Amino acid sequence: MVDADRLAASGGKAARLYPMTFEPVFKDYIWGGRSLARFGRRLPPEGPVAESWEISAHEDGTTRVENGAHAGRLLTEVHAELGLDLIGRNNAWAHERGKFPLLVKLLDAHTPLSVQVHPTDDYARAHEGNELGKTEMWYVLHAQPGAELIVGVTAGTTREALGRAIEETRLEPYLHHVAVRAGDHVCVPAGTLHAILDGLILIEIQQNSNTTYRVYDWGRVGKDGKPRPLHVDRALDVIDLDVVEPQVEAAQVVEEEEGYRRAVLCRNDYFMAERIELDAGSVLHGTCNGDTLEIWGAIDGRAKINDLDLPAVRFALLPASLGDYAVRAVSPATLLRTYTPPPRPWLDEEQAA
Active site residue 64: no
Length of the chain: 353
The answer for residues whose C-beta is within 8 angstroms of residue 101's C-beta and 6 or more apart is 87, 91, 94, 132, 207, 208, 270, 271, 293, 340
Q: Please give the C-alpha separations between residue 60 and each of 80, 103, 108, 235, in angstroms, as whole numbers.
A: 17, 12, 19, 21
Q: Please give the C-alpha separations between residue 88 and each of 291, 319, 340, in angstroms, as whole numbers.
A: 5, 8, 9
Collect contacts of 302-309 with beta carbons under 8 A, ≥24 apart.
Answer: 302/329, 302/330, 302/331, 302/333, 303/278, 303/327, 303/328, 303/329, 303/330, 303/333, 303/335, 304/328, 304/330, 305/19, 306/18, 306/19, 308/18, 308/19, 308/21, 308/67
Task: Output the 3-class SS for 179-229.
Answer: ECCCCCEEEECCCCCEEECCCEEEEEEEECCCCCEEEECCCCECCCCCECC
CA angle in degrees (0–180, nearest 5) for 72-103-98: 75
Measured CA to CA, the distance from residue 353 to residue 340 in angstroms comes to 22
Of 73, 214, 234, 337, catalytic: 214
Measured in degrees and rounded to the nearest 5, phi and psi for residue 125 equal -65, -35
- Quick count: other Cβ atoms within 10 Å of Cβ 304? 17
CB 195 within 8 A of CB 113: yes
Measured CA to CA, the distance from residue 198 to residue 70 in angstroms comes to 38
* Residue 120: HSE in the Cβ half-sphere, 13 Å Cα cutoff: 12
Active site (catalytic) residues: 214
